[in-house]
Copies of this chain bind each other. A is one copy, B any other.
Amino acid sequence: MDEKADKEGGELKVVMVVSEGLEQKRNVAWRTFLTAHAVAIEKIERDLAEAEVLPLSWYDVLLALYEAPDHKLRMHELAGAILVTRGGLTRLVARIEKAGLLSREPDPADGRGLHAVLTGEGLESLRSTWPVYAGGIAEHFGRHLTDEEVEVLDRALRRMLAAAREG
């Protein structure tokens, strides 16, 4: 790489120069963060698929409903909770409804609105998925971190999220 810098003049510096000094460690950490996320997600999704339980996108929807009052949420609330656009949510919810894991019912208080409601079957799926998911999290994520690292990571990323919600 250094030989290349000699041969090609400034080219190598495209990335390096800008990321030198104080910023560099943060950029390296960002890349680690991205890769770690991609690898962990890939492995966990594979575990879920092999066990024939819910994929993460379905699990997220149903868990959000589970955690909501009366196990129901308006579509736009659900979209906000799982960070999907409303357009995407319409189709995602339609697929999950077709599988019988949630139902849609009109909101009596607002003629425009719908509630997505967790069904008994949906709860059952959540129940059977969780152990597999928990196993994946432990195996591909938690197992490799010390207690202290977990705390630092959680605290730091929460601070980041709080800032994102304001900005």
User: Which positions 104-157 of chain A face chain B at CB distance < 8 Å?
Assistant: 123, 126-127, 130-131, 134, 137-138, 140-157
Q: Is B134 a contact of A27 with CB atoms below 8 Å?
A: yes
Partner of A130, one of B18, B29, B149, B153: B18
- Give complex CA distance A161, B83 in Å: 26
Residues of B close to A43: CB separation below 8 A:
164
Per DSSP, are chain A's interface residues mostly helix, strand or loop, or mixed? helix
In the complex, how many angstroms separate the beta carbon of A26 from the nearest chain B beta carbon?
3
Which residue on chain B has the smallest CB distance to residue A1?
B67
- Give complex CA distance A33, B141 in Å: 10
Residues of B close to A36: CB separation below 8 A:
157-158, 160-161
Asked if A58 lies at the interface with its beta carbon under 8 angstroms from chain B, I say: no
- Chain A contact-residue range equals 35 or more
In the complex, how many angstroms separate the beta carbon of A133 from the nearest chain B beta carbon?
9
Residues of B close to A4: CB separation below 8 A:
69
Residues of B close to A161: CB separation below 8 A:
32, 35-36, 39
Given contacts A25-B151, A156-B149, contact A35 B83 (CB under 8 A): yes
Q: Is B163 a contact of A144 with CB atoms below 8 Å?
A: yes
Could you mark each residue 74-107 of chain A with 1 if its beta carbon is under 8 Å from any beta carbon of chain B, else 0? 0000000001000000000000000000000000
- Give complex CA distance A149, B150 in Å: 11
